[in-house]
Amino acid sequence: MADGVLVAPGVPYAPVPAHTTDRDGRPLLLLPTASPIVAALAREPEDLPATLRISDVAPVSLADRVRGRAWLHGWLTELPAGELRAAALRISHPHPRPELLDLAAPQDGGDRERAWTVLALEVAQVEIEDAWGSATLEPEDYAAAAPDPFVAIEGGILTHLDSCHRDELARLLPAPESAEERAPVVRPLALDRYGLWLRCSAPPPQAPGSYDLRLAFAEPVSDLHGLRGVYRRLFAHATP
């Protein structure tokens, strides 16, 4: 799950309750109409410069759940009233929130102001950073990037692995060299088309500490059928 915060010059930062992207990758941000950043946008004769800060949080409960961060720099615009319903429906897929019902309902033609609105961020630059590296993307590279095929279901897969297959995950590591050495506790951290990240922690009373281990797939995986095949091969070669 990725939590978002919107930052603009001279405006208090605004937590973003829900966000997604349109078909072109442009971020769509759900915000209260009374938000200071929405008011600041209304006062601007032109688009408002802003940064969307996103933290990628692991779905599994871990000591350090933040897997990475991204900063999307660009300009804010408020979606026209005619586009709000389609945007609300798109946001509702990853974030089924009651606030979206008001936006998805057809307007009755009155002057009633909606309690919520959707802002769009025209991306000018993207910075990404995690424990394994960092990069800066130009808008063309960002727009051309395809979502990972498991982005919508990664949370469910990792939660299932953590609750039902911890023993199998632990056997993916080499066996302890001696009877006195205890095997680390292994939990799933992240999944993408290229591999699986594991969080390995030393059990007490050994020294505290943890490390992350990457299990790279032999080739990119594009669907659940391919992922099941990868799991079967991994577990078949696991430590007995």
Supply the DSSP string of 121-154, one letter for each residue.
EEEEEEEEEETTEEEEE-HHHHHHPPPPTTTTTH
Query: Which residues lie across from 54 on neighbouring strands?
Result: 4, 70
Range of the domain at 198: 154-236
Q: What is the DSSP letter of 8?
A: E
Tell me what pLDDT residue 225 has.
96
Which residues make beta-bridge pairs with 19? Answer: 29
Q: Give 50's pLDDT tier (boundaries 50, 70, 90).
A: very high
Same domain, 80 and 190: no
The residue out of 144, 174, 195 marking a domain boundary is 144
Q: Which has the higher per-residue pLDDT, 184 or 208? A: 184
Q: Residue 198 — very low, low, confident or very high, per pLDDT cuts 50/70/90? A: very high
* Model confidence, pTM: 0.85
159 and 130 together in one domain: no
Q: How many domains does the chain have?
A: 2
Q: What is the pLDDT of residue 102?
A: 78
**Whole-angstrom distance, CA of residue 141 vs CA of residue 126:** 9
- Output the domain CATH number for residue 229: 3.20.180.10
Q: Percent of the chain beyond pLDDT 70?
A: 91
Helices (H) and strands (E) in the chain, counts: 7, 11
Residue finishing a domain among 119, 144, 169: 144
Q: Which pLDDT belongs to residue 105?
A: 72
Q: For position 36, what pLDDT does the model report?
A: 94
Let me know whether 103 and 129 are in one domain.
yes
pLDDT of residue 32: 92
pLDDT tens for each residue of 104-159: 776 665 556 788 999 999 999 999 998 879 999 999 999 999 889 999 899 999 99
